[in-house]
Chains A and B, each alone.
Chain A
Amino acid sequence: MISVEHLTKCYGDFVAVDDISFEIEEGHVYGFLGPNGAGKTTIMNIITGCLSATEGRVLIGGYDIFEEAYEAKKLIGYLPEQPPLYMNDTPLEYLKFVGEAKGLQGQELKEQLERVIQQTKIEDVKNRPISALSKGYKQRVGIAQALLGNPKVIILDEPTEGLDPIQIIEIRDLIKELGREHTVIFSSHILSEVQAICDQVLIISKGKLVAFDEPQNLEKLLLAPNEIIITTDAKEEEIKDILANINHIVDMKIEEGEKEYEYAVAHIKTDHDDVYEISRNIFFGFAEKGKALLEMALKKTDLEDIFIELTEKNTQLKATESEEVDQ
């Protein structure tokens, strides 16, 4: 659906996007993940034709976004970081303008307006001036605008930024819903969000694409869960004794609880493939000594870890590269 080939964007000497290539297929939800200033917005602006590329090209459904802009842009609905709203309009007037600019007319325009207003749930506010709407509603009007013309691809730049928790959940649900009919690309620097709604994640750091995979696979990239956290009423010495009898424990860290509660928390690391096997052994080990396990949890690696690892790796790589150059 979208193919990005060797995309590079420079602002003077600063390289904002550095030779990125990827393919986006139809009918999935894609998440652009990266810290602030990683180049997410720049990439999105180039894909939607708002910005020119220094090098490389972008094809939308086979149409070059610069050479065949009209055909390419018809396939895209875009919500920039700051919703581009005319504050004096009402949502209805605004959407009518966007619809007409997208070439919709008469009955078709009317039907589409009704559909997007219903889809984004802005029926109640559609005749109020946009300047009087809350941030969440403004965001919805922005999304409604992107949906007009029924584009195949919907691109949303940080759609949940600056919203309150309830609004965030609503917008996420909306994105999920849109993912059923459209290809959705959205950017975020919140990992849990990407993890929750995306089929595919693109991690961008310092203008480079550092990972492109399903969230589950990315998690697999890192080690399988290998840390067990227990809370017990045993003393530190007792914990050490019990764990000494269990194989495959490579590391442990014990934090003594405060005296009045008389419990301790231990972080246990294992190199065994099956963590549950180790958990079982720990459980019976404590049971034998008559000590209670108040809580036992597996620490799963999540995208956060991968993200930090990948982006740090990238930094370290850069650092070593520049050191090499220095030498």
Chain B
Amino acid sequence: MTKYIAKRLIMSLLTLFAIIFVLFILIRIMPGNPFPVERMSAEMILQKRLELGLDKPILVQFADYISMLMGGSFGNGTSLYNGAPIKPIMLKCLENSFKIGVLSILFGTLVGLIIGITAALHRGKFLDGLCTIVSILGVCIPSYVFMIFLQYFFSYKIPMFPYFFDPSRFLSSAVMPAMSLSLFAISTVARFTRNEMVEVMNSDYVKLAEAKGLYGLQLIRRHVLRNALIPIVTVIAPLVVDLLTGAMVIEKIYGINGVGKLMVDAIAGQGVDYNYVLALGIVFSALYIGIMLLLDILYGIIDPRIRLAAKD
């Protein structure tokens, strides 16, 4: 197992390196540059470029960047756009997106599981159809449309929640964005849970368990759910990264100071902030890779057969 994890770790680092390289090149190809030029003379811009080493060959710049990254700093550690330090600001934004992301994952998985299990237990009946309709709607409606809908009804028509995100009232501000973000998770989890459970419930070992006299919750929990869980965990994992790394449109509409908004501003503000885009890209990729790694280890815990297979 240790050898397996070590191997996976090395692979992950290589993947990350490749991502950084591609990102680094892509950003330079993108139209736009980091300097809001309107009020700076060509001479001053040139001076800034020299200071930041942007005049060097791109591969040299990349090597410089990697060595600075090894030293724990994203480039020169400041925004090229307004000179503010990257790390504290990014952490603050990550924290906001994380909190809302976690809420929506918890809510989404819980509700998704309930809907999925209900549908599977009543397969072919009215409730099953209803759950399917709900989960298809959830995939079809973009989360920000749902967000606008919630904002209109639950803070404009009925003033239950703040109209814009208010950090001093975090919990009540987080309800609407977390709910809209969880919509996709709910429907995905519900669909997978239903399908997997239906399959597992038709299998011989469940029939055997039933024949032995097991029924109800015990049967579902011990035999059905546990076996149905592997594919479900597989779909939840990327969802988790999606939700943790913020929602660009929702954060923009609701005024949440999160990483999604930070990323959009860094790309589509007045200038393209190379340092921010790269830093966020690296953090997002690392998160994704990290969660996928965790997932592989989790498989082993949920289903010992996978652990055995890895040993061979």
Are A and B bound to each other?
no
Binding site for B on A (CB under 8 A): none
